[in-house]
Chains A and B, each alone.
Chain A
Amino acid sequence: MSILTFTLRKRPDQRVDMSPLVHNKLAGMPVEEIRTLTLRLGKRRVEVDELFDVHGDPGDRFIIRNSSNKLDYIGREQESGAITVEGDAGAYLGMRMKGGKITVIGSAGIFAACEMQDGDLEIKGNAGDFLGGALPGNKQGMKGGTVLVKGNVGQRAGDHMRRGIILVEGSAGDYCGSRMTAGTIAVMGDTGRYLGYAMKRGTLLLWKQPNVPPTFNDCGSHTLTFLSLFFASMRNSDSKFSDPVAVFNRVRRYGGDMSSSGRGEILVKIG
């Protein structure tokens, strides 16, 4: 497999829009040409070479070394291939990605997986606010694919989420699942306040008993067949979710948000 490595020469003061550096845009481009592509750095335009030491062959795998939380829009609209980010990623990681895989060894900024359409996004550290959210004005956040966060996620994870799965091994901040239209967010750790605020549909699957909001009504304890399918779909993921110990299908179900259309659910593991 050919690997193209972008090594950040120096942490930039300015935020960098990384959206030009995705497989589908660079396919078949010689490395020399990639070095001369322009990137935005504040109000300046600079060549890739000024920021990155570029090595290797442009193929289906990119590595961003020495990455910084100022590198925004990594993997934007990526259609295929894999990007590994060694270090942190900035805002809008994997925005509208359509396929392939992005792995961040460090943490990601706000709006990771924003309006993501498909593919796999894995963040080994933490993710900021609005994971899987939508740009202001857009009504639909994440629409497909799977996001795995090994650490914690910020506030409003899955805001306006429309479809897809967000898996959080750590804890989620306040307003997890706000305004969700559908999809599944699974959180193994703690969840903050205002869970599922204004949620229309969708599922919050929790390992720990949350602070159940007053506009969610208890629907009792149930054994849900679909959870077997859910965990079966995790079997190949490199996460705690694939651990047979994690599997359960007996839950307490809370329905809401009754202030919105009320078709969503919080499912809390029993036992």
Chain B
Amino acid sequence: MMTETNEAGIFKQVPSPFCGVGTDDLTIKVEDTAIRVIENGCAVNTPAFEQPLGDLKPRVVGKKVELKDAVDKAAEILRSASLPLFGGLATDVNGMRAALSLADKTGAIIDNMNFGAALRNFLVVHDSGWVNTTLAEVKNRADLLLVVGCDLESLFPRFFERYIWTADSMFLDDTGKRQVIYLGKIPSGFASKSPSGKAAKVLACPDADLPQVVAVLRALVKGAPLNITEVGGISITELQRLASQLKKAAYGVVTWAVSALDFPQAELTVQTLCEMIKELNRSTRCSGLPLGGKEGDQTSFQVSGWQTGYPSRVDFSAGFPEYDPYLNSVESRLADGSGDALLWISTFNVEKTPPKTPVRKIVVGRSGMQFDREPEVFIPVGTPGIDHCGHAYRTDNVVAVRLRKLRESALPSCSEVLSAIEQTL
């Protein structure tokens, strides 16, 4: 589907599978197989789109082979493994469908490369749920944005431009009047500064104090008495003010990025935030906005969710899906030696190579991927949204974007390769 193009190979309104926030206003110029983002690029999307094509040919133990030979070899590795591990899982909807089908057939364990972080949200959903919102609601309704524990602009460079300091908003007269408050990490740049120059309020604390800072904030929102004057270097007066602002806001939004909450048991901090949001909704409206969606992770969780009931770390070796968010990680199964083959799927980012491991490796990866140690099988595949059509989820999970094909690279899709392996078994 090559729409919105003209003679010069210009594509407009191109959606990105890379940034997670569903950017779909990119203008892209394609010359032969070279891609250039010429409008609305950012630090995340531009290099991801412009990554040059690498090898087109698969390799087996470093030697270029035909696709069929690579597929045969991959099938042989999976067939002979006692417990195959499918890692990475950075692909589009169809790629994930094929991966799950193959995992079901080979009795494998699947684990998305970002699930360790995403788990911090999923454990909250499994346990108590949440009250959340999506990007368009933020854009049109949010009068207060509380950013917890992340430097939003380094993760999502265009977030403020696209959703906060927008020219238009259906329900706010002046988007510049939105209150932006950071709790925890300090913003690295000035994206959070309003167009009129109002800087975001920052209540900074080290990550290690964030669990307690958030707990104190929840206690204050509840009106519980506390006999302390500060926590994590933030005065209780400041947190009390924040609690009042949240209660007064007509449509407060609390956002966090689990990838930035990179400390053990961070789900408890997320849960405390989410319970606080629920409590705020007794009198006003307030919603969470978990940000993530890199490397197709939401896509992988969604597809796995509807096909197995679980987002990731599913073990098919019993003949039915078994979920264990701890034992079924690729990392732990490589560490304890129980996983004896690794199928690594990474179609978006050439940097996301498989972990170091002595087990037999098959890599279905974006063309151009480089390895410290050559895997036994490497099958370069196209990137969804560049080399073939597909679907990817954006961070707020309900919105799937239609990815377009921008060039003819002759690379197979991940889904085609995995289906071929399954056929060969």
The residue on B at minimum CB distance from A160 is B127
Q: Which 5 A-B pairs have the closest CB atoms?
A: A43-B107, A42-B83, A43-B317, A259-B215, A42-B82
Apart from A197-B268, A259-B224, 17 more pairs, CB < 8 Å = A13-B340, A41-B82, A91-B326, A110-B327, A137-B126, A174-B264, A175-B265, A194-B211, A198-B268, A198-B272, A214-B215, A215-B215, A215-B216, A258-B222, A259-B222, A259-B272, A259-B276
For chain B, residues 327 to 364, give those with C-beta under 8 angstroms from any C-beta of chain A: 327, 336-338, 340
Which residues of chain B are near A259, meaning CB under 8 Å? 215-216, 218-219, 222, 224, 272, 276
> Which residue in B216, B231, B338 is a CB contact (below 8 Å) of A13?
B338
Complex alpha-carbon distance, A15 and B228, angstroms: 48
Complex alpha-carbon distance, A65 and B350, angstroms: 47
User: A192-207, CB under 8 A of B: which get 1 and which 0?
Assistant: 0110011000000000
**A258 in contact with B82 given A136-B323, A155-B264 (CB within 8 Å):** no
Which residues of chain B are near A111, meaning CB under 8 Å? 326
- Please give the distance in Å from B303's CB to the nearest CB on chain A: 20
Q: Give 20 A-B contacts (CB < 8 Å), ordered by A residue.
A: A13-B337, A14-B82, A14-B338, A43-B108, A110-B327, A136-B122, A156-B265, A174-B265, A198-B215, A214-B216, A214-B226, A215-B224, A217-B226, A218-B227, A258-B219, A259-B219, A259-B222, A259-B276, A262-B219, A262-B224
The residue on B at minimum CB distance from A217 is B227
Complex alpha-carbon distance, A260 and B264, angstroms: 20
Does B383 touch A at the CB level, under 8 Å?
A: no
> Which residue in A136, A139, A155, A215 is a CB contact (below 8 Å) of B212?
A215
The residue on A at minimum CB distance from B125 is A137
- Please give the distance in Å from A70's CB to the nearest CB on chain B: 7
Does A240 touch B at the CB level, under 8 Å?
A: no
User: A108-140, CB under 8 A of B: which get 1 and which 0?
Assistant: 001100000000000000000100000011010
Does B91 touch A at the CB level, under 8 Å?
A: no
Does A179 touch B at the CB level, under 8 Å?
A: yes
User: B231-268, CB under 8 A of A: which get 1 and which 0?
Assistant: 10000000000000000000000000000000011001
Does B300 touch A at the CB level, under 8 Å?
A: no
Which residues of chain A are near B219, meaning CB under 8 Å? 215, 257-259, 262
User: Are the CB atoms of B338 and A175 closer together than 8 Å?
Assistant: no
Does B225 touch A at the CB level, under 8 Å?
A: yes
Complex alpha-carbon distance, A194 and B222, angstroms: 20
Number of interface residues of B (CB under 8 A): 41
Does B170 touch A at the CB level, under 8 Å?
A: no
User: Are the CB atoms of B231 and A214 closer together than 8 Å?
Assistant: yes
Complex alpha-carbon distance, A194 and B231, angstroms: 13
Does B271 touch A at the CB level, under 8 Å?
A: yes
Does A250 touch B at the CB level, under 8 Å?
A: no
Which residues of chain B are near A260, meaning CB under 8 Å? 275
**A214 in contact with B271 given A13-B82, A156-B265, A258-B224 (CB within 8 Å):** no
> Which residue in B83, B126, B224 is a CB contact (below 8 Å) of A43?
B83
Does A107 touch B at the CB level, under 8 Å?
A: no
- Please give the distance in Å from B4's CB to the nearest CB on chain A: 43
Which residues of chain A are near B123, meaning CB under 8 Å? 136
Does A213 touch B at the CB level, under 8 Å?
A: yes
Complex alpha-carbon distance, A257 and B219, angstroms: 9
> Which residue in B106, B268, B276 is a CB contact (below 8 Å) of A178?
B268
Complex alpha-carbon distance, A218 and B212, angstroms: 16
Complex alpha-carbon distance, A214 and B209, angstroms: 10
User: Are the CB atoms of A194 and B212 closer together than 8 Å?
Assistant: yes
User: Are the CB atoms of B271 and A198 closer together than 8 Å?
Assistant: yes
Which residues of chain A are near B224, meaning CB under 8 Å? 215, 258-259, 262
- Please give the distance in Å from B305's CB to the nearest CB on chain A: 13
Does A208 touch B at the CB level, under 8 Å?
A: no
Complex alpha-carbon distance, A91 and B123, angstroms: 19
User: B281-305, CB under 8 A of A: which get 1 and which 0?
Assistant: 0000000000000000000000000
Complex alpha-carbon distance, A137 and B310, angstroms: 11
- Please give the distance in Å from A76's CB to the nearest CB on chain B: 14
The residue on A at minimum CB distance from B227 is A217
Which residues of chain B are near A15, meaning CB under 8 Å? 327, 336, 338
> Which residue in B127, B211, B276, B337 is a CB contact (below 8 Å) of A136?
B127
Does A35 touch B at the CB level, under 8 Å?
A: no
The residue on B at minimum CB distance from A130 is B326
User: A48-70, CB under 8 A of B: which get 1 and which 0?
Assistant: 00000000000000000000001
Does B412 touch A at the CB level, under 8 Å?
A: no
The residue on A at minimum CB distance from B318 is A40
Which residues of chain B are near A194, meaning CB under 8 Å? 211-212, 265, 268
User: A168-212, CB under 8 A of B: which get 1 and which 0?
Assistant: 000000110011000000000000011001100000000000000
- Please give the distance in Å from B170's CB to the nearest CB on chain A: 35
User: Are the CB atoms of A258 and B226 closer together than 8 Å?
Assistant: yes
Does B325 touch A at the CB level, under 8 Å?
A: yes
User: Are the CB atoms of A213 and B215 closer together than 8 Å?
Assistant: yes
User: Are the CB atoms of B268 and A175 closer together than 8 Å?
Assistant: yes
Which residues of chain A are near B211, meaning CB under 8 Å? 194, 197
> Which residue in B268, B316, B326 is a CB contact (below 8 Å) of A179?
B268
The residue on B at minimum CB distance from A41 is B82
- Please give the distance in Å from B244's CB to the nearest CB on chain A: 17
User: Are the CB atoms of B265 and A178 closer together than 8 Å?
Assistant: yes
- Please give the distance in Å from A64's CB to the nearest CB on chain B: 18
Complex alpha-carbon distance, A137 and B323, angstroms: 11
Complex alpha-carbon distance, A139 and B129, angstroms: 12
The residue on B at minimum CB distance from A15 is B338
- Identify the interface centre among A40, A155, A198, A213: most chain B CB within 10 Å of its CB: A198
Complex alpha-carbon distance, A217 and B226, angstroms: 6
- Please give the distance in Å from A153's CB to the nearest CB on chain B: 14
